[in-house]
Amino acid sequence: MTHLINPDKEQKPKALDRGFLHCLANLYETYGPLGWWPADTDWEMMAGAILTQNTAWTNVEMALTNLKEAAGASRFTAGWLLEQNPEEIKAWIRPSGFFNQKTPRLFALAHWFVSHGEDTQRLHSMPLDDLRSELLAIKGVGPETCDSIVLYAAQKPVFLIDAYTRRLLLRLGYEVPRGYESLRANLEQLVKDERPYEDSEVNLGTSSELCWLQEAHALIVEHCKNNCRKKPLCSNCSSLSCQARI
Ligand code: SF4
């Protein structure tokens, strides 16, 4: 669990408010536009969502490069992956770590994607709850991996939450429910109420709700990797209202 890092400034946690949108707008000034997810194809995005579990993105890039080189002219697709020997897949994704767990997860996700014709347009057409239920039923796909795929491959608007999101919200002094779905509901309610993509002060360079949500997640990750680390580099940070500033 992330604790506030400046106990002298610790206050009672507050409900999510517009201040969080201004924080994101400040991050956009610093890092944006990021235009995530970094992938050449939707399947590469989806495979990356599995490979990035519990590892740094640089390791994922090495694993994806191995897979794409192995696929060569056949192109790295879900269908191609299903024709491969799992032992070879393990060797190719070894740089991403946990390759014994991630290999069957990749196969399970590939089976599911092939069952939908490897067509993200079909995923986009599904009701959000149905799409999330199907993804969450795949072994090894938890809420974060699920919503990565929903947001960036299926292009459906969800607020994607990861450990960085929780860390930033806590440090900004917000209440952070323990459960993923509760926090997602709170963040999505804020977006629904405030419609930040229609507000030039906080629109993160887009008038699209989907693109706003895609950029918001990318900005949080970028900020927490660069500055709001476990031991934060607050002197580089524009979040003046942060009560955890040291
Ligand atoms: S880096 Fe910014 S957001 Fe993170 S603790 Fe420091 S002031 Fe707060």
Residue 225 has pLDDT above 70, yes or no: yes
Q: In angstroms, what is the span from residue 199 Cα to ligand 1's centroid? A: 24
**Residue 133, pLDDT score:** 98
If one counts every other C-beta atom within 10 angstroms of the C-beta of residue 120, the result is 20
* Contact criterion met (CB below 8 Å) for 17 and 204: no
85-101 burial, b at 16+ Cβ within 10 Å, e below that, comes to: eeeebeebbbbbbbbee
Concatenating the DSSP letter of every residue in 159-207 gives ----HHHHHHHHHTTB---SSHHHHHHHHHHHHHHH-GGG-TTT-TT-S
Banded pLDDT at 241 (limits 50, 70, 90):
confident
Average pLDDT of the chain is: 94
Torsion angles phi and psi, residue 14, rounded to 5: -110, 160
Residue 8 has pLDDT above 60, yes or no: no
Q: What percent of the chain has pLDDT over 90?
A: 89
If one counts every other C-beta atom within 10 angstroms of the C-beta of residue 76, the result is 19
ipTM of the complex: 0.99
Q: What is the pLDDT averaged over residues 7-14?
A: 72
Domains of the chain in start order, with CATH, are 7-34+159-236 (1.10.1670), 42-152 (1.10.340.30)
CA distance 8 to 11: 9
CA distance 160 to 114: 24
CA distance 65 to 195: 38
Atom number of ligand 1 nearest to Cα 237: 2
**Amino acid at site 35:** G
Give 78-130 pLDDT, tens digit per residue.
999 999 999 999 999 999 999 999 999 999 999 999 999 999 999 999 999 99
Atom number of ligand 1 nearest to Cα 242: 8
Residue 15 has pLDDT above 70, yes or no: yes
**Residue 240, pLDDT score:** 67
Atom number of ligand 1 nearest to Cα 227: 1
**Residue 92, pLDDT score:** 98
**Residue 165, pLDDT score:** 98
Q: What is the pLDDT averaged over residues 150-165?
A: 98
Question: Nearest residue CA, atom 4 of ligand 1?
Answer: 228
203 in ligand 1 pocket by Cβ < 6 Å? Answer: no
Banded pLDDT at 145 (limits 50, 70, 90):
very high
Q: In angstroms, what is the span from residue 18 Cα to ligand 1's centroid? A: 17
Banded pLDDT at 7 (limits 50, 70, 90):
low
Can you tell me which residue has the tokens 């579990």?
Answer: 53
**Token couple for 75:** 């192109």
Give 179-204 pLDDT, tens digit per residue.
999 999 999 999 999 999 999 999 99
Helix (H/G/I), strand (E/B), else coil: 28: helix
234 in ligand 1 pocket by Cβ < 6 Å? Answer: yes
Residue 6 has pLDDT above 70, yes or no: no
Residue 236 has pLDDT above 90, yes or no: no
Residue of 9, 176, 222, 234 to mutate, ligand 1, most atoms within 8 A of C-beta: 234
Torsion angles phi and psi, residue 61, rounded to 5: -60, -40
**Residue 1, pLDDT score:** 43
What's the first-to-final CA gap in the chain, in angstroms? 19
Residue of 219, 237, 238 to mutate, ligand 1, most atoms within 8 A of C-beta: 237
